[in-house]
Structure 1
């Protein structure tokens, strides 16, 4: 029902900031200096508004991509409840250096307020042993953001750049929605501040500065094929390619212990 057209040029731009949905895929850390276990949460929500959370059906696909190989993690998922709605989590043990890209393909979600299906292909990169390597590899998702800035080890205030790709090809002038996972410390003055929107250039390249520490989601939105809605009538499909990156504040240098 949701087969993606091959030619990227067939995609129309789609954006609706007032109803910005974000498929979160958030790890316990973006860099594991000594390797070890990383836990990842999958939540479908409105990050900047701190909700509401939408019920998330068990995904179609969840995996880890590293070294040109994909590991299926669907069988490791554990269901959890966030604000009374279903969400998911999984763990993996990183034993070798290098970047691992975790990704999710959710089931299509019907948004009754907008009368459309939403399918957000989301990913996040975790760097094992702080290697700084392997982060340029792409999973090959139908809609995907290729990072031009290394998506790990980002300081607050750094510029993040990426390329929007659909069916592997750059999407000229694609719309990219951006939200921060609000920890409750920020109240937006009005709705215009909830979702930042940038437009890619003719090569599908976009950029945005990250002004605050925490997790930032970039959602490149394109229009997918029309599909039957719950009432059997034709309905639009919003396809999203998401990437999550973490900004970290520069803290003071550790104080040396006094000599004894």
Structure 2
């Protein structure tokens, strides 16, 4: 049974409400930039579609940005910050991402494994988010060599609401067929100044998590119905399966930004 199914079954035993996914955020509100500078980014572990519970994060393993094939280690820029979620507070992190030249900046964040007591497993969501300066494409569709990652097949910083988004799931650089991709909408994006959710613009759908399955080439496609930030998480797609003597679900997460066409 997958981690999602186990979590859903446990939740149904306790409540009639459907269960929704843990999602690692790597968030900044403006992903298309027209000037150089240090871009603030927040890293929270949360249930974003239901504006729900947030989880305490340990010291992250890595924060890197990839620009034109070059990796820049930004781990020392991370600082702890308290996230005031709708129902609880939790420790997250923040950092600034240096953006200078035109092109794509692939932000890759590797959190410490999180122990999920209700399932007696660890979760580690290796998360990518992209920034672009100047509208110039320089590699948004290239893998960066993470243990597991989702490589976008549509430019992820300006998806059109009402169109489709596709990605290919990789583990150790190889496509993963038949993998479950959980999909969530960031219903209440965090306020960058207060570290609190803003007013929700959507609510969770009935029936639990939104799910797509990768095809024989590791590709999935999702019709994006609404502007905003959409997250895609491949559960247990990574090569690491154990941490501190317990099972670890090493997940690949990708965030994309959709816009209404005017």
TM superposition score category, shorter chain reference: 0.7 to 0.9
Please give the alpha-carbon distance, in whole angstroms, between the structure 2 residues aligned to 1:63 and 1:180: 24
State the Cα RMSD in Å: 1.8
Matched residue, 2:40: 39
Matched residue, 1:173: 178
CA offset at residue 28 of structure 1?
3.0
Q: Decide whether the 8 Å contact of 1:99 with 1:127 is kept in 2.
A: yes
Q: Decide whether the 8 Å contact of 2:32 with 2:132 is kept in 1.
A: yes
Aligned: 1:123 with 2:128: yes
State the TM-score, normalized to the length of structure 1: 0.84
Aligned: 1:204 with 2:209: no
Q: Decide whether the 8 Å contact of 1:213 with 1:248 is kept in 2.
A: yes
Q: Decide whether the 8 Å contact of 2:46 with 2:54 is kept in 1.
A: yes
Q: Decide whether the 8 Å contact of 2:20 with 2:49 is kept in 1.
A: no
Paired residues, what number?
A: 233
Matched residue, 1:236: 247
More relative contact order, 1 or 2 (CA 8 Å, 6+ apart): 1
Please give the alpha-carbon distance, in whole angstroms, between the structure 2 residues aligned to 1:69 and 1:188: 38
Deviation above 6 Å: which 4+ runs of structure 1? none
Matched residue, 2:150: 145
Runs of at least 5 residues in structure 1 that lack an aligned partner in the other structure: 1-11, 229-233, 252-260
User: Larger deviation: 89-98 or 165-174?
Assistant: 89-98
Q: Decide whether the 8 Å contact of 1:164 with 1:205 is kept in 2.
A: yes
Aligned: 1:225 with 2:244: no
CA offset at residue 117 of structure 1?
0.6
Matched residue, 2:55: 54
DSSP-derived class of the 1:26 partner: coil
Greater radius of gyration (CA): 1
